[in-house]
Chains A and B, each alone.
Chain A
Amino acid sequence: MFRILKKSLQTGVVTGQHPAGAAPSEPLSQDAIEKAKPFRRSLTIREVDTGSCNACEMEMNALANPVYDVERFGVHIAASPRHADALVVTGPVTVNMERALKAVYKATADPKIVIALGDCAIHCGMFKGSYAVTGPVDRHIPVDVRISGCPPRPAEILAVLEGLRQEPATSKT
């Protein structure tokens, strides 16, 4: 017990100790901010991988670590699409995952927003044109927010999620 307390005291608070990410290449649309309005104080995310290289997953996981601690902004990761307000989709949508993606979209309760995370989800990245790829994501389900990068840094994902929390009327993006 003493050892645990000592360690915690030595470590202190690490939340927020990260460099700022690059500015997003695509600004948030007013439509997206409007659509995200019901979730401003609490956004529950279901992450769906449709064929990424798993770097995007690692950065999504990093959002939950003590440094980024996304929960302090009311963002939670849900285990089921039935509990989610937002789908975060990564990867170029493979032939084998196409059905699963559509099923997940259908299972997510309305209203909902879809966030395409990473270059693959936005325009298939390096996998564009492959016989095994049918994406990008917006070919199969409507996409509201795009976060580019290969992969985007956690700070950049966080910045976009914060952008979604702004008041639609006063926002200037």
Chain B
Amino acid sequence: MSDARPAVEQVQAAFTQAITEVCAAHGIPMLRVKKQDLPTVAHFLHTNPGFRGSLSLLWAVDHRPREARYELCYLFTLAEHKDWLLLVTDLHGDEREFPSITPHLHAAKWYEREIRDLFGLIPVGHPDLRRLVRHEHWPKGSYPLKKDFPWDRVLGRVQGEYAFRKIHGEGIFEVPVGPIHAGIIEPGHFRFSVAGEPIMQLEVRHFWKHRGVEKLFEQQQLNEAVPLSERVSGDTSVGHSLAYCQAVETLQGVEVSPRARYLRTLFLELERLHNHIGDVGAICNDTAYALAHAHCGRMKEQLMQLNDRLTGSRFLRGVNCVGGVALDLSGLQLAQVEVELNALEQDFSAIEKIVFANASLTERLENTGILTESIAWDHAVIGVVGRASGIDRDLRRDRPFAAYDMLQPKVAFYRYGDVRARMRVRLDEIHESIRLIREVRRSLPLGRLVSQPMHQPQPGAWALSAVEGWRGEILYVVMAGDAGLIHRCKVRDPSFVNWPAIQWAALGNIVPDFPLINKSFNLSYAGNDL
């Protein structure tokens, strides 16, 4: 992490008229920008080689009933400064419109549509204002994240149809897939336009699983919402609950003990491990190589059983709590973990050799589903997918949390962006995770598990936290409300960012390769739809 202060001064100098206030929130430099100047400032941050800013998060807050004001917050990660910069703008009173930045930044596309659907605020100039979260059968005017919308309202049903983008030409036809798929996977709709076998266009239509998670957070107390965060995306229970806990800890001024930090690291790596091994198996399975799938399924199961023995939950639920961790591991348990993981690493390395000795398998992986670096950059793609496409970002190194500042994780990085690269990133990360867990065992300090809060946050105080989960960057913004309640909780699973990118990775590939490409991304539908 480096310092963004010179960057702030530069932006300020370039836009003296546009910027009304400069401050910092929990160490994040923040610029309040006039509404109409937002697109220019955003464009400047994104394209200026001195910043190379990519949009990491865009969220809105309804400040009622305290103030009749909406706030829009644009979080940029400045690649050149390795730091965050926050642009904020306000919509006062009855204002409903704000200028869209999507014409300048692809990455804002879904965020702005999401804000329109959930808050009823209109991004003027957005090239695509079809509904995103609220499917067409939702009644007009139902904007669930507005404060005057009751969390338990029963929605009516109206007529309406989503208009898929059409492309025309001789022999082009559409293949609709979903929302219910052939395997045991989550629901989502893919609309392929194909000419023979190759995919000419893919449109992803999601949000079938929208459960109203962010509104449900607003019904909960700050200290009690951890179980909900574990159920945002079940396969990332630790990642999400850790991000949530960290945000609340920042709000309450909790200093988490070193022991709890190390244990959190251990649990996060255990989660990464079982998911990555499962994914490697699933990628092999989609090339019809059942042998590797069976072996990886066996090893994943071994890890799930290990999780269960350590914590009483196969998904490591209930380990994180606000202030630290809810359970301790004994020296004996840690020794057993190390013995088991050492054996597993050997076991897994043997499978790796078998997999890469199989030309008919590797042939399917190479040059399939290429996501180029420039498209990945335009869409601010992150996580495993980003690191396979030349986006060298990993929060464990760039903004260390938990105990990562002490562990120096090595970051897997590839440029060719195909299925093979995404598989390679996972393989490297599996070995690195095992190394990190060994390291945690070696240097685990003594100390308490849960630390007490210094103070209760003022209503309106907010905090942002970021965790590198196994898929990528998980971001949580938590704003305190009255009487210990949550006023607003913005949840951002990496899937939300990476889903639009898959539409580009699939282009030109044949339809039968799409499951393979999809598996190599392995994005969450639940975490995306919220």
Contact = CB atoms under 8 A, between A and B. Distances in A.
A107 to B, nearest CB: 10
Interface in B127-154: 135, 137-138, 142, 144, 149-154
A78 to B, nearest CB: 9
A91 B179 CA distance: 14
A80 interface: yes
B227 interface: yes
B295 A56 contact: no
Given A7-B350, A130-B152, A131-B151, A65 B297 contact: yes
Interface in B192-222: 207-213, 215-216
A79 B232 contact: no
B294 interface: yes
A100 B181 CA distance: 11
Contacts of B232: 53
Interface in A87-109: 91-92, 94-97, 99-100, 104
A66 B297 contact: yes
Interface string A1-25: 0011001000100100011000000
Given A53-B233, A131-B153, A96 B215 contact: no
Contacts of B155: 95, 131-132
Interface residues of B, number: 59
A54 B315 CA distance: 11
A61 B297 CA distance: 9
A126 interface: yes
Nearest to A4: B354
Contacts of A11: 295, 298
Q: Give the interface size class of chain A.
A: 35 or more
A23 to B, nearest CB: 16
Interface in B144-168: 144, 149-155
Contact of A58 (B179, B209, B235): B235
Contact of B183 (A79, A81, A97, A132): A79
B451 interface: no
A160 interface: no
B524 A131 contact: no
A136 interface: no
B291 interface: yes
Given A11-B295, A129-B151, A49 B209 contact: yes
B294 A65 contact: yes
Interface string B300-335: 110011001000001101000000000000000000
Contacts of A147: none
A71 to B, nearest CB: 12
A61 B314 CA distance: 14
Contact of A130 (B185, B212, B298, B525): B212
Interface in A46-98: 47-62, 64-68, 77, 79-81, 91-92, 94-97
A7 B295 contact: yes
Contacts of B317: 150
Interface of A: 3-4, 7, 11, 14, 18-19, 47-62, 64-68, 77, 79-81, 91-92, 94-97, 99-100, 104, 125-127, 129-133, 150-151, 153
13 contacts: A11-B295, A18-B301, A18-B305, A51-B210, A54-B186, A58-B235, A67-B301, A94-B210, A95-B155, A97-B208, A100-B187, A131-B144, A131-B212
Interface of B: 135, 137-138, 142, 144, 149-155, 179-180, 182-187, 207-213, 215-216, 227-228, 231-235, 237, 278, 291, 294-295, 297-298, 300-301, 304-305, 308, 314-315, 317, 350-351, 353-354, 357, 524-526
Nearest 4 A/B pairs, CB to CB = A55-B234, A65-B297, A79-B182, A53-B234
